[in-house]
A = this chain, B = another copy of it.
Amino acid sequence: MSVIKVAILGFGTVGEGVYKTIQSHAEELERVLGRKVEVAAILIKNKQKKRNINEDVLITSDFNEILSLPQLDVVVEAIVGKEPTLTLLKQAIQRGSHIITANKEMFAHHGNELFELAERHKVSIGFEATVAGGIPVIQTLRQLLNVNRVHTVQGILNGTSNFILTEMREKKQSFADALSLAQKKGYAEVDPTNDVEGFDAFYKTMILSRIAFGEEPNWQDVERVGISSITSELIETAEKLGLRFKHIASINKTCSHINAAVKPVLVGKSHPFYSVEGVENAVNVHSDIVGRITLQGPGAGMFPTASAVIEDLVYVCQNQPSNKNFTITTAENNEVKKGNKIELWLIQGLSKNYHHPLITWVAQATDEAAVIQATREEIEELLIQQKATCCFPILGEYEPESKNQEETVAIL
C-alpha cells in the first residue's frame, strides 16, 4: 500500500501540534484516506536544538533537501511572516505537492497568486488554519454552503483581543494589565500590535471575504480599529446598559461592492457573540436560504490549529483540485446603504439636553454615556462638531437592562 508523505515547515507550536497529531491519529488518517500518512521531513531553523522527533524523519534547515525527496505529497507550512514562506510554498507547488498553510499574513497577501499556481500544477491548497483556529469556517463555506448565497460574514477572529476585553470586564482591569496577562499566558506577542490594533483580524477578514464572495474589498477602504482605546470605564458603562464590547470583523456584499470593517462593536445579550469569551472565536454567516448560522470554538492553540491542518490534510488528499478553491457566490443583498440606516450607538460625551430630530434616546447609563438611535451620517456629524467624544455601534437588537439595573440605568 502506498503512503502519503508529508513535510512540515516549522516546528513551533503549530508545527509540533501537527507532528504529534499525525502520530496520535495515524489509525484515523489511514482509515479515512485508505493510505498511511508519514511525516518525511521537518524544516527547522536551528539543527542543534533537541526535539522529540522520530529518527527516520529528515530534520533539516535546507528546504532543497526536502524538495529533493523522492516523494512529497503534502507540504504543511507553520512558519510566520511573508517570506521566505511564499517562496518555499511556490517551490512546493511547482514540485507537485499539495500545500496547507496556517499563515494568515502571507496568505492574505499572496493567496490568489498561490491559487493560480496551484491550479496550473493541479494541486490543492488547505488554509482552514488561517482563520478562527479549530472552527471549520473555511470548509463550511467551501464545502457545505454551496447553493446558499452568503451576503454577510461577521466574526470574533482575534482571540487575544477577546481575551483582553473579557479580562478587563470580568476583573475590572486596565487595558495595560490585561495585555500584560495575555503576554504572560502566551496569547500575545512581546510586540502586541498585530493583535490589539486589528491587523491579525484584518488579514483573516480578507481571507474570509475571498472564500465567501470570491473577492476582497480594497484594503485601503477597510476601517481597521483595534481595542487599545477601549478603557475599563467604557466597558463598565456598557455593562450597565447590558452591552459587551467585542472586536468584530464584518464583511457585507451588496450588488455593487464589498464593505468590510474590523473594529470594536457592542453586542447585547440576545446576540450570539455576547457569551463568546476569553480566547474563543466565533463566526456568523448570513445567507439567503438558511439565514444566520453561528460557528463558535477555540480560535488558537496547539491542538485546535493542528485539527484544522489535519482535517485539511484529508481534504487536499481526497478532493480533486478544481476552481472550487474560491467559490464565487453572487450575493444579492439589497440592504439600504449604511449611511441612511438608523442604527443603535453607545455614545459618550453628549449632553442629556441635546436634541436633534434624527436622534432617539434609548437608555442613559451615566450623565455622560447613553444609547441612542441615529444614522451613521448623523453620528459622524456629532463627532465632527465635538458634541460627542466617542461612540460605538451596537450589533443586533438592544434590550435595556430594566430589571437588574434599575438604579443605574434610566430607560428613556
Contact = CB atoms under 8 A, between A and B. Distances in A.
Interface of A: 21, 25, 27-29, 32, 134-136, 139-140, 143-149, 269-272, 274-277, 287, 289-298, 301, 303-304, 306-308, 310-311, 313-314, 329-330, 404-405
A333 to B, nearest CB: 15
A297 B290 contact: yes
Contact of A296 (B287, B293, B301, B313): B293
A297 B291 contact: yes
B146 A311 contact: yes
Given A275-B270, A291-B303, A311 B32 contact: no
B144 A140 contact: yes
A307 B293 CA distance: 12
17 contacts: A25-B147, A28-B147, A144-B144, A144-B311, A146-B311, A147-B307, A147-B310, A147-B314, A289-B303, A289-B304, A289-B310, A290-B297, A290-B303, A290-B304, A290-B307, A293-B298, A294-B294
A311 B145 contact: yes
A147 B32 contact: yes
Give the residue among A149, A294, A308 with the most B Cβ atoms within 10 A: A294
A310 B136 CA distance: 20
Contacts of A289: 21, 25, 134, 303-304, 306-307, 310
A314 B146 contact: yes
**4 tightest CB-CB pairs across the interface, nearest first?**
A293-B297, A290-B307, A134-B290, A289-B307
A117 to B, nearest CB: 24
B296 A28 contact: no
A291 B134 contact: yes
Contacts of A311: 144-148
A159 to B, nearest CB: 13
A323 B324 CA distance: 25
A295 B168 CA distance: 27
Given A289-B307, A293-B296, A404-B405, A136 B140 contact: yes
B144 A143 contact: yes
Nearest to A149: B28
A293 B295 contact: yes
A330 B296 CA distance: 24
Contacts of A21: 147, 289
Contacts of A272: 275-276, 296
Contacts of A291: 134, 297-298, 301, 303-304
A274 B270 CA distance: 10
Given A140-B140, A290-B297, 15 more contacts: A25-B149, A28-B146, A32-B146, A136-B140, A140-B144, A145-B311, A146-B311, A147-B311, A271-B275, A272-B276, A291-B297, A294-B294, A294-B297, A295-B295, A295-B296
A285 to B, nearest CB: 9
A21 B149 CA distance: 12
A292 B297 contact: yes
A233 B135 CA distance: 38
Nearest to A324: B32
